[in-house]
Structure 1
Amino acid sequence: MSKEIEVPELGFIALIHYAWRQLTSMRTALILLMLMGVAAIPGSLIPQRITNQIAVRELFTTNPDLAKWYDRFSLFDVYGSPWFSAIYILLFISLIGCVLPRSVEHYKAMRAQPPVTPKNLSRLEHHQEFAGGAESLDRAALWFKKNRFRVRVEGNSISAEKGFVRETGNLLFHLSLILILVGVSFGSLFGMRGEAIINVGERFVNVATSYDSVSFGKLTGEKSLPTFEIKLDKFLGEYDPVTNAPKDYTAWVTITDNGSTYKKVIKVNKPLTFGNTRVYLQANGYSPVVTVRDSEGNVALQGPIPFLPQDGNLRSIGSIKVPDAQPQIGFVSSFVPTNARTSDQGAVSIFPELLDPKLLFSIWKGDLGLDSGIPQSVYRIDTSQLEKVGLGSVKPGETFTYPEGSITLETVVPWVNLQFVDDPGKSYALIGAILAILGLLSSLYGRRRRIWVRTISAGVEVAGLAKNSAPGLDVEIENFVSAIKGEK
């Protein structure tokens, strides 16, 4: 009978060592990279709390069962979820454990001498023998030096090696991925992103309450905001009179920063910079400046109301909410900067500039739900529990009167949407991306090869070896042989 072989169980240290080898293998790194790409898909398909809380709330209202499951698996906050963070951290560790040891070994190989000349060169690629002597080795040494080979001279033979740039580029590509991950991590931990709509003539103070939406990194908060103010003095949008297409957007602002005041110009591709914070000109529209009075003639609301553009001609929708009126009044409104009328769409805008502005609205009264604690869009009003009062429209300077009061369109001012971005890791990510491209190109076009030459009793013999069967070695051998023969 055959004797059974007992395989000893792995101890704790051996098990840890095995798990580490599996985690730091290139196959695992590629699998984790693919998993991170797949895991990011729900963040694009499902509304995220950090960017669109209203859409998340609407999903809880329309489909509460599905929303509960989404919330249970952190699908409303994909990039901050434990499972996405786990994939991200494992990928980071896997790349470091895989690439750093290889980089050390590669550095040692670059510093080491080329391998000694094999005893039997005839078994290697492109082996040749021809007449020659010691002068052939001298010519070979000069050719190697001219073509930047690393050489090793031993007695009657020379070993030469070239093409470490291929492996260097491969390692540089993977090290650059680590640098990109570091940059993304810095942005996620210490970054900030916010948006604010500012009307012409208004001032923005850089505090958290001034933002329409703002999100901070995991290790930062409101106290990290730099102190500055921006006053929007003027905004001008230029449009092609034939195609209505935008030609240029320009915002003139006054900056107050660290006690000094100065003026700047913001364009779409010309942001403001405050340290690591950049301020971008994102979008624009119009804010009707209205005065709403109650039935006794008292002012219940006065000021600009931003409207949301719906097309290239800046036809916009908005809501005017008057919670201080008795009863509360809401205007479901639309605004057209250049008024025209069609039979199928009603009022439309035929040009983005303020050539013939008009405000159209339906009037509703009742509880607007502003004290319910439930977030709601500033551009819309839920009229399901309200009573309709009437319909109306006004142009600048006109007043529309209804039983509960009146509304006057005083004027119209432009607004701009400014995006504030503080991403301390973007420089690392940019450098990593550039180095990754350079590393990829180097690994694609670099060729590792070795050439040996040795004098024998019959003359000179030459052979070569191309790593990974890289093409071009035959041509290089022919040029080398011609050079040591004295033909070139």
Structure 2
Amino acid sequence: MNQELQIPELGAIGLLRYAWRQLTSMRTALILLMLLGVAAIPGSLIPQRTQNPMAVSAAFKSSPGLSRMMDRFSLFDVYGSPWFSAIYILLFISLIGCVFPRTIEHFHASRALPPNTPKNLNRMESYSTWPAAGNELELARAWFKKNRFRVLEKDSSISAEKGFLRETGNLFFHLALILILLGISFSSLFGMRGEAILNVGERFVNTPTSYDSLSYGKLFKDGKLVNFIMTIDKFEAKYNVVTNAPEDYILNVTLRRGDLVTSEKHVIKVNSPLTLGSTKIYLQANGYSPVVTVRDSAGNVAMQGPIPFLPQDANLRSTGAIKVPDADPQVGFVGSFVPTYGRSKGGGAVSVFPDALDPRLLLSAWSGDLGLDSGTPQSVYRIDTSSMKEIGLKSLKPGEIFTYAGGAITFEGYVQWVNLQIVDDPGKNYALLGAIVAILGLLASLFTRRRRIWIRAGEVVEVAGLAKNAAPGLEEEIANFVQYLKGEK
């Protein structure tokens, strides 16, 4: 006779309950954590719009078909993509649903008394027995109190327990991960991060148009920018004359904030940012800006001022571009600036020291359309010379003039520039606190042993112990306990 097993159908509530249990399991949390790490890899390998829009534009120009397909999957904005946010939110929910019930359960367990002494202690680990002397329970009570055991005394026996800090540390570790995620999400929603290259002597007004690059959190508003004006007074770089290594960078600034009337003098160093409330101003990098004057064939000034060049090595050999769209025809210069001039074995110009002891400006002049009116974004540090004509090469010392067909350029000298990073990171303190708590919790869970010790006294004394997860050290602790009870220690 066949009997079919009838399995009841899983209703909507049962399905939701099953999905919640699966989502809030530790296995799911670990899988989501691994997926989050894997999902972050494309953001490190592929240029992102928020960090390098020029590289993204170059990718669309070189491979438009592939770039459009990658953009369809938000690979140029990984950390703001729906699929990355979905993994992040699911991990957040999974950790909360996994850790909070365990925390409540552990809280009740830590307040409860130890379990009763088992009947058959001889089945436990590290079992010892000997004839009773009559004072073993009194000695055991004192020993447990000295070693901070929680005890339950009942029917001529004592049950003692210790090591709840292990599970406490484990829970604090996971709770700290939630705090770190909260700090990161808080910063990504309400924070901002911008960078600006400023020449010595220039003034910076904290408005969106003053930044070279600026990224906002999803809920950050322009009106939340700190109101200040900063002037770059002086920058001093100190280098070791033997190794050429930097020893110190000192930036002196004048700051006006609030009513913008009162001036304050401040010093910014690499590891000593200027703090304005929750906003911090960091000194990130430095370099040189050659000061040039470009004149057309009629002697009129077509361009004048400092042009920031980007360092290429530790000795601050720098490259850049000087674009003169107002000249007729347009002209551009591909340049290289060396603070302390020297020659390599191959005959090329190199910088032998990062300080400007013998500065030179090496220029390659090009005539033609600079492409500034095409609407395509381009780097201010490079020139696309594919449709231009080279009209001359020249190496200049300060004060020298390079005359070419259609005009002349004068190397007036140089000024130093600094790259400032301005960051409003409201969740940083929460993330830092979470990281500290996570480390402390991990140490507590790794180095704390949870164990139970029982003693029953009658005609004979029985002592036994049990260590959770077979943690080492129980036998030695039982041996010390037994010696204390026998008066041998």
Deviates more, 1:91-100 or 1:129-138: 129-138
Q: Deviations over 1:248-273 (max 9, x none)?
A: 11111111122331111111111111
Counterpart in 2 of 1:467? Answer: 468
**SS at 1:119 equivalent:** coil
Answering whether residue 479 of structure 2 is matched by residue 482 of structure 1, we say no
CA distance in 1, matches of 2:374, 2:403: 29
**Structure 1 residue 35: Cα displacement:** 0.6
**SS at 1:233 equivalent:** strand
CA distance in 1, matches of 2:373, 2:99: 57
User: How many aligned positions are there?
Assistant: 487
CA distance in 1, matches of 2:342, 2:488: 85
C-alpha contact (below 8 Å) 1:333/1:360 kept by paired residues = yes
Counterpart in 2 of 1:253? Answer: 253
CA distance in 2, matches of 1:343, 1:153: 87
CA distance in 2, matches of 1:93, 1:266: 41
Counterpart in 1 of 2:382? Answer: 380
Counterpart in 2 of 1:232? Answer: 232
| Residue correspondence of structure 1 range 57-68 to structure 2 within 5 A | 57-68=57-68
Q: Deviations over 1:361-420 (max 9, x none)?
A: 122222211122211111111111222222223221122222312111112111111111
Deviates more, 1:170-179 or 1:288-297: 288-297
Give 1:451's match in structure 2, choosing from 450, 453, 464: 453
| Residue correspondence of structure 1 range 70-149 to structure 2 within 5 A | 70-132=70-132, 134-149=134-149
| Residue correspondence of structure 1 range 108-257 to structure 2 within 5 A | 108-132=108-132, 134-257=134-257
Counterpart in 1 of 2:303? Answer: 301
Q: Deviations over 1:410-453 (max 9, x none)?
A: 12111111111111111111111111111111111111111111
Q: Deviations over 1:31-59 (max 9, x none)?
A: 11111111111111111111111111111
Please tell me the residue identity of whatever aligns with 1:437: I
Q: CA RMSD in A?
A: 1.3
Give 1:281's match in structure 2, choosing from 283, 286, 291: 283
TM-score w.r.t. structure 1 length?
Answer: 0.97
Answering whether residue 321 of structure 2 is matched by residue 319 of structure 1, we say yes
C-alpha contact (below 8 Å) 1:132/1:485 kept by paired residues = no
Please tell me the residue identity of whatever aligns with 2:160: A
CA distance in 2, matches of 1:345, 1:427: 52
CA distance in 1, matches of 2:111, 2:130: 33
Deviates more, 1:148-157 or 1:257-266: 257-266
CA distance in 2, matches of 1:305, 1:385: 23
| Residue correspondence of structure 1 range 10-25 to structure 2 within 5 A | 10-25=10-25
Counterpart in 1 of 2:37? Answer: 37
Answering whether residue 62 of structure 2 is matched by residue 55 of structure 1, we say no
Counterpart in 1 of 2:362? Answer: 360
Distance 1:345 1:428, change over 3 A: farther
Deviates more, 1:82-91 or 1:130-139: 130-139
Please tell me the residue identity of whatever aligns with 1:191: G
C-alpha contact (below 8 Å) 1:133/1:455 kept by paired residues = no
In structure 1, list runs of 5 or more residues that go unmatched: none
**Structure 1 residue 119: Cα displacement:** 1.7
**SS at 2:135 equivalent:** helix
TM-score w.r.t. structure 2 length?
Answer: 0.97
**SS at 1:40 equivalent:** helix
CA distance in 2, matches of 1:17, 1:258: 54
**Structure 1 residue 345: Cα displacement:** 4.7
Counterpart in 2 of 1:419? Answer: 421
CA distance in 1, matches of 2:462, 2:112: 25
CA distance in 2, matches of 1:342, 1:126: 76
Please tell me the residue identity of whatever aligns with 1:478: A
Counterpart in 2 of 1:9? Answer: 9
CA distance in 1, matches of 2:303, 2:273: 34
Runs of 4+ aligned residues of structure 1 deviating over 3 Å after TM superposition are none
Give 1:331's match in structure 2, choosing from 326, 330, 333: 333
Please tell me the residue identity of whatever aligns with 2:335: S
Please tell me the residue identity of whatever aligns with 1:300: A
**SS at 1:159 equivalent:** strand
**Structure 1 residue 133: Cα displacement:** 5.3
**Structure 1 residue 134: Cα displacement:** 4.6
**SS at 1:253 equivalent:** strand
Q: Percent identity?
A: 68
In structure 2, list runs of 5 or more residues that go unmatched: none
Please tell me the residue identity of whatever aligns with 1:29: A
Please tell me the residue identity of whatever aligns with 2:428: K
**SS at 1:87 equivalent:** helix
Deviates more, 1:46-55 or 1:119-128: 119-128
Q: Deviations over 1:132-160 (max 9, x none)?
A: 25521111111110100001111311111
Distance 1:11 1:133, change over 3 A: farther
**Structure 1 residue 487: Cα displacement:** 2.8
